[in-house]
Chain A
Amino acid sequence: MMSLFLRDLKLSVRAGGGALIGVLFFMTVVAVVPFGVGPDLNLLSRIGPAIVWIGALLAALLGLDRLFQAERDDGSLDLILMQETPLALTVFVKCLAHWAGTGLPLVIASPLLSLFMNMNEVAIGAVMLTLLVGSPAITFIGAVGAAVAVALPRGGLLVSILVLPFTIPVLIFGVSATYAAVEDPAPFLPPFMILAALTLLFAALGPLAAAGALRQSSD
């Protein structure tokens, strides 16, 4: 399993991998917002956490469609399906590798983009922390969409459409935890704990559902 993790990580960093593209997309999405809403620093710092979260969400969805499709295209998926090891475990490891290759760079890039949004230090820390905890959930949910769309010739956009509704709770609690950290009266811990619970729930549920979908789609 370690070898699968390392292989997927290598693939995401090698030429044509998704790591750089995801971060670049994240930066572009966030950079576009001030053009739309105007360069008012107070406004930007108020909507900043939400913008950074939405940008990270969209960027995290970007490379997901290739998660299983690349394996299917070269026939590796057949071999993965045949193994004795539980398929859900394999999917779980693939998700972890995908997150480490594309999600983690987003978390690392988020403080920089938060500066562009004129957020203060507490808000920056909160965004980074909530993204660190919440972004794996996006990958785990996305794996289900990727597994469902694996047989489709151009699944890319469809995966995002399928997955986005399910990521809304993650977005809600991620952003509300961030705001709770900045604005005093609201407590930070409850929404943050719910966010962590969501990640754990999807970490268990996502691979199982994705494994089921993969078994159905083999032909």
Chain B
Amino acid sequence: MGLIAENLAARRGEDLLFVDISFSLDEGGALILTGANGSGKSTLLRVVAGLLRPDSGSVSYTPQGGGEARPAGEAAHYLGHRNAMKPELTVEENLSFWKDFLGDAGGGAGLCVGEAAETVGLGGIAHLPFGYLSAGQQRRFAFAKLLVAWRPVWILDEPTAALDAAADRMFASLVSGHLARGGIVLAATHQPLGLEGAKELRMKGFAGTPQDRAA
């Protein structure tokens, strides 16, 4: 059930960043990754999203009520440092492209573009080119991208960097809304997201070179 990671290990270049990381998250569960810069938070998230191949271990997602286990990436939204939006196109064009392209994963439905823009509090300016917006507004619309297509798992890498306090609160409510709908959230962050009942995984970083582990 849910998102299961077993014995994950990954390296950057020759150095092992982490070994033996396992966790499992049920519907409505959240996991917060904390740790210093360079401790491998982003790498772990990219491994879970299927963008990096792990050194060992596996990640899978099994939908509620049975069904086949599948790569977690296919059931996940990934929100990295970059917003994945084109500055030349309007916000609406961007969002409706992602809505069509991503489609809904099983078990839910995405909001329509207008509703998603309202939800992030910027309904009035969705007709503007994305490039006209401030960094904070762009980030908010990147959150709206999570809403237009349903994915049970959200993988968020430093989601609230470059946001003010109000946007922080708005984002926390989005995340708890997602959890309430039976979603799963996996986030790396320095700031508290204000989630109750979230598990925490502290990344220590630098698990040693392969030789150290062999010794």
Contacts and interface: CB of A to CB of B under 8 A. Distances in A.
B86 A11 contact: yes
Contacts of A10: 88-89, 93
Contact of B52 (A3, A6, A11, A218): A218
B106 to A, nearest CB: 11
Given A4-B97, A14-B89, A75 B84 contact: yes
Contacts of A7: 86, 89, 93, 97
Give the secondary structure class of B's interface. loop
B100 A3 contact: yes
Contact of B88 (A15, A75, A81): A15
A78 B73 CA distance: 10
B96 A11 contact: no
Interface residues of A, number: 24
Nearest to A6: B97
A2 B99 CA distance: 12
Nearest to B43: A219
Interface of B: 49-52, 73-74, 76, 78, 80-89, 93, 96-98, 100-102
Nearest to A80: B101
A14 B52 CA distance: 33
Interface string A182-219: 00000000000000000000000000000000000011
Most chain-B CB neighbours within 10 Å: which of A74, A78, A81, A218?
A78
Contacts of B50: 81-82
A3 B96 contact: yes
Contacts of B52: 218-219
Given A14-B89, A76-B85, A81-B50, 7 more contacts: A10-B89, A10-B93, A11-B86, A74-B85, A78-B78, A79-B102, A81-B51
Contact of A78 (B49, B74, B96): B49
Interface in A12-27: 14-17
A84 interface: yes
A74 B88 contact: no
A196 to B, nearest CB: 31
A83 B80 contact: no
A2 B100 CA distance: 9
